Structure 1
């Protein structure tokens, strides 16, 4: 015996009126259209792009990764020396792997008070990690953002 009801659509039901969502809730050109994670990804990529204007060949050799939070190992290492939770980390290149900079999204989002401050924090983290990888002063990596100030060396 066939248990299917005749004249019943076989596809998934949208809602009781059969319409469902008709389009995006926000237009694509508004900033709120993109989610938090996507905006954070954009901030990291904008920072890398900014550095690639000054260091085009060298920045291309670095992979930029975004993780929600640091690993337990990194947190434990920071706590052991009395540091705060890391906002970023870097791994030097090896013979078989490219250099990596890992930016931790949630700790940065928690301390940023505004979207502009989030962009600044992300760029500071990226520049700091590039500085660590290349063993160069921070103000040399991005002198327009970090002027000749002894606090940034």
Structure 2
């Protein structure tokens, strides 16, 4: 029987210690990677991962492209389409770079979880880059589902 004077060595009532997503395993360097603190930071990280992979593969063909994230599109008062744009692509000319803007809030609204958000961001970016290059989206990134996958 435990003495009432001895200190308890357990960290919680079941003795498990800290658990859950706040506790990450240590990386090879012995440090934990920083967690995104907000939805915006999480989205930016997803966007950066997608854009980096695509830009590494296609930068020679794309030329100068600026990638950006905005919270939501600015829609005119008389917008009656009923559909909210997920991205915007403005082709550059001369020294003006092409600008690809992805709208965070409409994409987050469509995603059920992080994996779904990653898939949606990949789809939107790949389709815009495919339009720039004039090729099929499945050629831009192998993760994009081709018509043969049906």
Task: Note the residue ranges of structure 2 that are not aligned, 5 or more in a row.
Answer: 1-21, 24-31
| SS of residue in 2 equivalent to 1:65 | strand
In the alignment, the residues of structure 2 paired with residue 53 and residue 126 of structure 1 have an alpha-carbon distance, to the nearest angstrom, of 14
Change (3 A) 1:120 1:148: closer
Number of residue pairs aligned between Structure 1 and Structure 2: 121
Deviating 4+ runs (over 4 angstroms): none
Q: Where do residues 1-150 of structure 1 align in structure 2 (5 Å cutoff)?
A: 29=33, 31=35, 33-59=36-62, 61-73=64-76, 76=79, 79-80=80-81, 84-142=83-141, 144-149=142-147
1:41 is displaced (CA, Å) by 0.8
1:124 is displaced (CA, Å) by 0.6
1:30 is displaced (CA, Å) by 5.8
1:62 is displaced (CA, Å) by 1.0
| SS of residue in 1 equivalent to 2:66 | strand
Provide the TM-score with structure 1 as the length reference: 0.67
In the alignment, the residues of structure 2 paired with residue 150 and residue 132 of structure 1 have an alpha-carbon distance, to the nearest angstrom, of 20
Provide the TM-score with structure 2 as the length reference: 0.69
**RMSD between aligned residues:** 2.8
Change (3 A) 1:149 1:63: same
Task: Note the residue ranges of structure 1 that are not aligned, 5 or more in a row.
Answer: 1-25
Change (3 A) 1:110 1:62: same
Change (3 A) 1:74 1:102: farther
